[in-house]
Amino acid sequence: MAADAPALTFIALFLPFLGAVLAPFLTRRLKHNAAWLLALAPFAAFLHFCGFLPEIAAGEAATGGYAWAPSFNLSFSWFLDGLSLTFALLITGIGTLIVVYSGGYMKGHPDQGRFLAFILLFMGAMLGLVVSDSFLMLFVYWELTSLTSFLLIGFDHEREAARRAALQALVVTGAGGLSLLAGLVFLWNITGVTQLSLLVHLDGGLRESPFYLAALLLVLGGTFTKSAQFPFHFWLPNAMEAPTPVSAYLHSATMVKAGVYLLMRLNPVMGATPAWEILLPFFGGITLISGTLLAVRQTDLKLMLAYTTMASLGLLVMLTGFGSAHAVEAAVLYLVAHSLFKGALFMVAGTVDHEAGTRDVTRLGGLRAAMPVTFGAALLAALSMGGLPLFFGFLAKEEIYAALWAANPRAVFFTILALIGNALMFAVAFAVALKPFLGAPVETPKHAHEGPPSLWLGPAVLAALGLLGALFSGIAHRYVSSPMASAVMDDAVTIDITTVPHLGMPLLLSAITVLLGALVYWRLGDARALMARMLENLGPGPDRGFDHFVSDLVRFSVAVTRFIQPGRLELYITVTFVLLALTLLVPPVVFGELPGMPAWPDGILVQEAAFFLIALIGIVAVLRARDRLTAIVSLGIQGFAVAVLFLLFGAPDLSFTQFMVETLSVVILALVMTRLRLSPADHRPAGQLFVDATIAAACGIGFTLLLLKSVEAPFDTLLTDFFNAYSKVVAHGANVVNVVIVDFRGTDTLGEIAVVMITGLAVLALIRVRAGRKGDVK
């Protein structure tokens, strides 16, 4: 690459964000045609990343970025190898088609500009995620994908279902993001590195760490929620409340594959362990079977595809954790194939809904003549999804069976899971691609006709790529599949499968898959009814469980709030001072850090003793005061005596501050007490007085012990020397204390002033509220 490649890569990474900024303005002027212009942003990024293909195919990697916080080993950096480059090409390439498709699909929508801005933000977040090198950058983009998907899923925010789906996706993936953050912190502490490019090449240490399992479980918490693995799968079908362009993009190349991406990225350093090879295939297999069974149950085209996406993600997770190089090769091939055929089929479903007015497969039929281009794209995509020869999906399916099959119980079990899953996905694929188009024409809510080029261009291109990728598999493997598999394995891998099938067991398994899938397709109505009865017998699923969890969480929060915040100020103050006393007294006693008994000071002057005695008299006066106003004035006596002691010990500036504070405190408290007209005397019972006195004494003793322990240590003059040396030179002030307050810690002083001001305003507001209520009563 050229010397300016790092700068151009940063520009490419931010092009989607730039498009998001421009989208509302361009849409206001160009309407739906703005999508063609906005698509240039991801297309330019796609072309830029294509320039890395020869370099990455040669086994090299590209990195760049800058140090953000070097002292913490944090950087804003990117890392391109076969894995991240493939994802970057899928995100920008399919993203270009999605933006164009959005222009036709959202034509006439009053918020089309907002929608295009959101989808470009989502694209930028996902692109940043897959090319991130630093842990920090990865986590920021990871959470940004959750936030932008929330905006997209809840785009039709006036519908309750859309709001619920958006909130559900945000809660599930956001919680997973926190789990991932903890996992990344574990990885940082175990390995000492914060860059993925360094982590994946570590020779060892991570797997042998006693914290490996904790780190793995936390990382899986993030990846399983993001990639909708059982039991966190329920948010994904509900995300179909989003407009179809979102569904097509979400399920083909973006957020749902983020978890799979991270698992593949961490495979070189966290894979090949019993935990990895048990947890990933187990949960992946459950997700695969449950997703395909639920897909058979649906009649909505988008939901049928959504559940097969869930199943496909389970298959990818199962293959990634299976523990062999062939399984990784199969996962790589299937990920690329899935991105192509699923993006095409989702756009086909959206086009049918847009032009016919419904996406209920039982209310559709005979659209082939009215929508020939859309039908052709759907058929090609279904052939790839069904794993039939001459399509890229066929290469993936053959490699799956070649990787899984072996003469041992574990391999046989997962091979059967893959066979059942692939057969059911075969049936669903052709149900989506054939049933709306074949048969006698059915009356639909809208007069069906072929959509504009913006609607059929995307599915046609993706479906064609599924065919061309298999026909020219040598080129596809050289520049995409092999570099990607090599990155996942951290070792050179060469994929050479072609459209010629594997002879032996893989070919037999493929034939069984097709026959079983065709049988399910033929009896799809019966299979749908059977699944409906089965789900009814099983009862509510995780989706309903989420609603119960949220409602219980709200009730628990209300109960806790009522318990810890009952609305009684005296309780808040009591709890605060009890905790303060415990904090001051318990640690010195438990850890044996009590100070020694100080020696009685020699040479106490008469005036010092006199003002010390006055302070004690002030305390006694406070305790014996018969009304609140007398107590406030007596408290001032104690404060003024302490101020004089400061003066006698050579701290006139501190003494002056104490005088000012005491004066203002007495005046303000007296004003508040007289205006609020509280009870003039303290009517607390003797028991309450004893408790309050005990808490106050404990706090006083705690602070005394803290001060005594502090003065036992040798006085450190480091700060004193610093301020004496630099107060005049740097701050141009002779009074060191003043310089410290207004210069060296001026921001802190400003904050204190703000607190005092806000407190004064609050007091004033309380007085006015009190006065207003009395006026209303009169």
| CA angle 332–333–337, rounded 5-degree value | 120
pLDDT higher at 61 or 100: 100
Q: What six digits make up the tokens of 241?
A: 């409340």
Spatial contact of 708 and 598, defined as CB atoms under 8 Å apart: yes
Residue 647 exposed, middle or buried by CB count within 10 Å (0-12, 13-18, 19+) = middle
- Rounded Cα distance, 146 and 704, in Å: 51
Which residues does residue 232 pair with via DSSP β-bridges, in sequence order? Answer: none
Lowest mean pLDDT of 15-24, 321-330, 339-348, 495-504, name the range.
495-504
Residue 380 pLDDT: 95
At 181, is the pLDDT very low, low, confident or very high (cuts 50, 70, 90)?
very high
Q: What is the residue whose two structure tokens read 């057969």? A: 423
Helix axes 505-522, 392-404, angle to 10 degrees: 120
Q: What is the residue whose two structure tokens read 């099983």? A: 538
Name residues whose C-beta falls within 8 Å of residue 689's C-beta, 6 or more positions apart in sequence.
Answer: none
Flag whether pLDDT at 430 surpasses 90: yes
Residue 206 pLDDT: 85
Spatial contact of 258 and 125, defined as CB atoms under 8 Å apart: no
The dihedral over CA atoms of 413, 417, 420, 421, expressed in degrees to the nearest 10, equals -170
Q: What is the residue whose two structure tokens read 């999804």? A: 385
One DSSP character per residue, 490-526 reads TS-------SSPPPSHHHHHHHHHHHHHHHHHHTHHH
At 726, is the pLDDT very low, low, confident or very high (cuts 50, 70, 90)?
confident
Which residues does residue 132 pair with via DSSP β-bridges, in sequence order? Answer: 78
Flag whether pLDDT at 216 surpasses 90: yes
At 720, is the pLDDT very low, low, confident or very high (cuts 50, 70, 90)?
confident
Residue 777 pLDDT: 46
At 778, is the pLDDT very low, low, confident or very high (cuts 50, 70, 90)?
very low
| CA angle 515–518–519, rounded 5-degree value | 85
- Rounded Cα distance, 681 and 683, in Å: 6
Name residues whose C-beta falls within 8 Å of residue 509's C-beta, 6 or more positions apart in sequence.
Answer: 401, 405, 415, 419
Name residues whose C-beta falls within 8 Å of residue 50's C-beta, 6 or more positions apart in sequence.
Answer: 89
Q: What is the residue whose two structure tokens read 């059942």? A: 420
Name residues whose C-beta falls within 8 Å of residue 571's C-beta, 6 or more positions apart in sequence.
Answer: none
Flag whether pLDDT at 628 surpasses 80: no
Identify which of 570, 582, 599 has the alpha carbon closest to the alpha carbon of residue 692.
570
**pTM of the complete model:** 0.80
Residue 13 pLDDT: 87
Flag whether pLDDT at 661 surpasses 90: no
At 737, is the pLDDT very low, low, confident or very high (cuts 50, 70, 90)?
confident
Per-residue pLDDT tens digits for 45-61: 999 999 999 999 988 88
Contacts by residues 53-59 (CB-CB < 8 Å, ≥ 24 positions apart): 53/85, 53/479, 54/479, 55/1, 56/80, 56/81, 56/82, 56/85, 56/479, 56/483, 57/82, 57/478, 57/479, 57/482, 57/483, 59/483, 59/486, 59/492
Which phi and psi (to 5°) does residue 111 adopt?
A: -110, 30
DSSP 239: G
- End-to-end, the C-alpha distance of the chain in Å comes to 84
650 sits in the region (left: phi over 0; alpha: psi -120 to 50; else beta) called left
Q: Could you count the other beta carbons within 10 Å of the beta carbon of residue 535? A: 14
Flag whether pLDDT at 680 surpasses 80: no
Spatial contact of 101 and 457, defined as CB atoms under 8 Å apart: yes
Residue 253 pLDDT: 58
- Rounded Cα distance, 644 and 33, in Å: 80
Distances from the Cα of 41 to the Cα of 19, 116, 320, 340, 374, angstroms? 6, 12, 33, 21, 26
Name residues whose C-beta falls within 8 Å of residue 319's C-beta, 6 or more positions apart in sequence.
Answer: 284, 327, 328, 330, 331, 334, 400, 403, 404
Question: H/E element holding 74?
Answer: strand 74-80
Q: What is the mean pLDDT of residues 584-609?
A: 78
Which residues does residue 63 pair with via DSSP β-bridges, in sequence order? Answer: 79
Residue 91 pLDDT: 93
The sign of the torsion formed by the CA atoms of 322, 326, 329, 334 equals negative
Residue 338 pLDDT: 93
Q: What is the mean pLDDT of residues 646-662?
A: 80
Q: What six digits make up the tokens of 318?
A: 């199962």
Mapped onto helix, strand or coil, the DSSP state of residue 195 is strand
Spatial contact of 66 and 76, defined as CB atoms under 8 Å apart: yes
SS3 per-residue string spanning 330-352: HHHHHHHHHHHHHHHHHHHHHHH
**Mean pLDDT computed over every residue of the chain:** 86
Flag whether pLDDT at 735 surpasses 90: no
- Rounded Cα distance, 420 and 418, in Å: 6
Name residues whose C-beta falls within 8 Å of residue 640's C-beta, 6 or more positions apart in sequence.
Answer: 618, 659, 662
Residue 266 pLDDT: 92
Flag whether pLDDT at 638 surpasses 80: no
Q: Could you count the other beta carbons within 10 Å of the beta carbon of residue 41? A: 26
Spatial contact of 417 and 288, defined as CB atoms under 8 Å apart: yes
- Maximal C-alpha separation, the chain: 113
Q: Quote the strand ranges of 140-252, DSSP E.
A: none
- Rounded Cα distance, 703 and 717, in Å: 23
Q: Could you count the other beta carbons within 10 Å of the beta carbon of residue 368? A: 18
- Rounded Cα distance, 384 and 615, in Å: 90
Residue 776 pLDDT: 53
pLDDT higher at 1 or 117: 117
Flag whether pLDDT at 602 surpasses 50: yes
SS3 per-residue string spanning 361-390: HHHCCCCCCCCHHHHHHHHHHHHHHCCCCC
pLDDT higher at 94 or 658: 94
Rg (CA), the chain: 35
- Rounded Cα distance, 470 and 498, in Å: 7
Cis before 42 (ω within 30):
no
What amino acid is encoded at 757 in this protein? M
Q: What six digits make up the tokens of 489?
A: 């394995």
Q: What is the residue whose two structure tokens read 């793995």? A: 216
- Rounded Cα distance, 390 and 379, in Å: 13
Q: What six digits make up the tokens of 618?
A: 């002030």
Q: What is the mean pLDDT of residues 489-513?
A: 87
Flag whether pLDDT at 577 surpasses 70: yes
Q: Could you count the other beta carbons within 10 Å of the beta carbon of residue 695? A: 18
Per-residue pLDDT tens digits for 101-137: 999 988 888 889 999 999 999 999 999 999 998 888 8
Flag whether pLDDT at 773 surpasses 60: no
At 600, is the pLDDT very low, low, confident or very high (cuts 50, 70, 90)?
low
The sign of the torsion formed by the CA atoms of 387, 393, 395, 396 equals negative
Spatial contact of 424 and 293, defined as CB atoms under 8 Å apart: yes
Calculate what percentage of the chain has a pLDDT beyond 90: 41
Flag whether pLDDT at 163 surpasses 70: yes
- Rounded Cα distance, 459 and 112, in Å: 21
Spatial contact of 424 and 305, defined as CB atoms under 8 Å apart: no
Q: What is the mean pLDDT of residues 621-629?
A: 74
Q: What is the mean pLDDT of residues 705-734?
A: 82
